[in-house]
């Protein structure tokens, strides 16, 4: 099982020095990948609850966010071998033709180290801010992924769909990785899992929320992948682990990957037993970089 970690592109550590130190520390510690998060807004009065916290509140570090793609390009120049991924960016906020070139550029500049994690977004405030709509976002996402694949793997490119049209054109650069960089989708519904099965290389759910449900959902995903005419044994699984350590074990109900070191190790073992391809250690990015670096080292040992 590979192990990835957050690149500090949010909060107090969202600055050039922290990106360099965080990326190089992750590579020194033997992490396999670096992952950037995205958030467009931190609404003062959000209309939708944040799904990853018990009370629905957004963490303060989302008030300061460096762009995830530019952060990855910057990290690529400071490292030599560690993988670079997005966890995650929201499909409805982007045009696939423009995004395909930005992502290809990172793959070319990094020598083929890019992974791409997508989601569909959840915040009404963010949808309105970028002029996107939640209506029909699933169908648009399907077409988006088809076009992205077409741009990355063919020349000249031609596409005619409901949401996007590309006249017969040469579009470059193409990614270094062949046939293209791996694409992962965060998915929590049957419809979203079917999208993973049809268009993605892997599933990238938040294990802190979903680890207990993963065996059932993974079986559904594999069945859907076979129904789509694809090899289900090649479907990858990246488990996002929002780790929080406590001095004493948590009694009773707890979020996965939280609690004592032993409890967290047990959850890591469960992810490995599920057949997780990669465990992505999602850090609390509230502290400054001097406090984050020791945390990266401690969590690397826990994830071994």
Residue range 112-139, pLDDT digits in tens: 999 999 999 999 999 999 999 999 999 9
Percentage, residues of the chain above pLDDT 90? 93
pLDDT score recorded for residue 55: 86
Confidence band (pLDDT; 50, 70, 90) for 208? confident
Q: What is the pLDDT of residues 231-278, one digit of tens each?
A: 999 999 999 999 999 999 999 889 899 999 999 999 999 999 999 999
Contact 287, 274 (CB under 8 A): no
Strands 183-185 and 165-169 turn out to be unpaired
pLDDT value at 54 more than 80: no
pLDDT score recorded for residue 210: 81
Tell me what the pLDDT averaged over the chain comes to: 96
Q: What is the 3-state secondary structure (H, E, C) of 39-103?
A: CCCCCCCCCCCCCCCCCCCCCHHHHCECCHHHHHHHHHHHCCCCEEEEEEEEHHHCCHHHHHHHH
pTM: 0.96
Question: What number is the average pLDDT over the span 181-191?
Answer: 97
What's 212's domain CATH number? 3.20.20.30
Enumerate helices (H) and strands (E) in the chain, giving the number of each. Answer: 10, 12
How far is residue 228 CA from its own chain's centroid?
23
The parent domain of residue 165 ranges over 2-303
The structural domain count of the chain equals 1
Contact 303, 32 (CB under 8 A): no
Confidence band (pLDDT; 50, 70, 90) for 191? very high
pLDDT value at 292 more than 90: yes
Please tell me the total number of residues recorded for the chain in this structure: 304
Task: Give the C-alpha separation, 27 to 78, whole Å.
Answer: 10
pLDDT score recorded for residue 304: 81
Strands 278-282 and 2-6 turn out to be parallel
pLDDT value at 211 more than 90: no
Q: What is the pLDDT of residues 18-51, one digit of tens each?
A: 999 999 999 999 999 999 999 999 999 999 999 8
| Nearest to 76, CA basis, from 102, 98, 108 | 108
pLDDT score recorded for residue 51: 87
Task: Give the C-alpha separation, 194 to 186, whole Å.
Answer: 12
pLDDT value at 200 more than 80: yes
Confidence band (pLDDT; 50, 70, 90) for 52? confident
| Nearest to 114, CA basis, from 173, 171, 39, 176 | 176
pLDDT value at 209 more than 90: no
- From residue 284, alpha-carbon distances to 152, 165, 207 in Å are 34, 41, 15
pLDDT score recorded for residue 232: 97
Q: Is 188 exposed, middle or buried (0-12, 13-18, 19+ CB in 10 A)?
A: middle
Question: What number is the average pLDDT over the span 90-103?
Answer: 98
Task: Give the C-alpha separation, 161 to 141, whole Å.
Answer: 12
């Amino acid at each position: 099982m590979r192990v990835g970690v957050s690149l500090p592109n949010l909060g107090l550590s969202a600055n050039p020095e922290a990106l360099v130190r965080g990326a190089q520390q992750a590579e020194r510690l033997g992490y396999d990948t670096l992952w950037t998060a995205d958030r467009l807004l931190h609404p003062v009065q959000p209309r939708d609850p944040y799904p990853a916290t018990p009370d629905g509140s957004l963490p303060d570090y989302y008030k300061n966010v460096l762009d995830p793609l530019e952060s990855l390009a910057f990290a690529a120049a400071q490292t030599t071998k560690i993988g670079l991924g997005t966890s995650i960016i929201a499909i409805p906020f982007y045009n696939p033709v423009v995004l395909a070139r930005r992502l290809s550029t990172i793959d070319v500049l990094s020598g083929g180290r890019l992974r791409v994690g997508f989601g569909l977004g959840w915040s009404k405030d963010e949808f309105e801010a970028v002029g996107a709509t939640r209506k029909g976002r699933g169908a648009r996402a399907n077409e988006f992924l088809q076009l992205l694949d077409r741009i990355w793997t063919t020349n000249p490119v031609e596409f005619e769909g409901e949401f996007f049209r590309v006249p017969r054109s040469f579009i470059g650069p193409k990614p270094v990785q062949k046939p293209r960089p791996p694409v992962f989708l965060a998915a929590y519904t049957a419809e979203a899992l079917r999208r993973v099965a049809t268009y993605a290389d892997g599933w990238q759910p938040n294990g802190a929320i979903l680890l207990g449900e993963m065996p059932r959902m993974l079986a559904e995903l594999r069945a859907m992948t076979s129904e789509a005419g694809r090899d289900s044994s090649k479907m990858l699984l990246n488990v996002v682990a929002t780790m929080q350590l406590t001095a004493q074990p948590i009694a009773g109900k707890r979020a996965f990957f939280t609690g004592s070191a032993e409890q967290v190790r047990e959850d890591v073992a469960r992810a490995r037993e599920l057949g997780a391809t990669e465990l992505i250690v999602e850090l609390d990015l509230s502290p400054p970089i001097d406090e984050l670096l020791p945390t990266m080292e401690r969590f690397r040992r826990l994830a071994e």
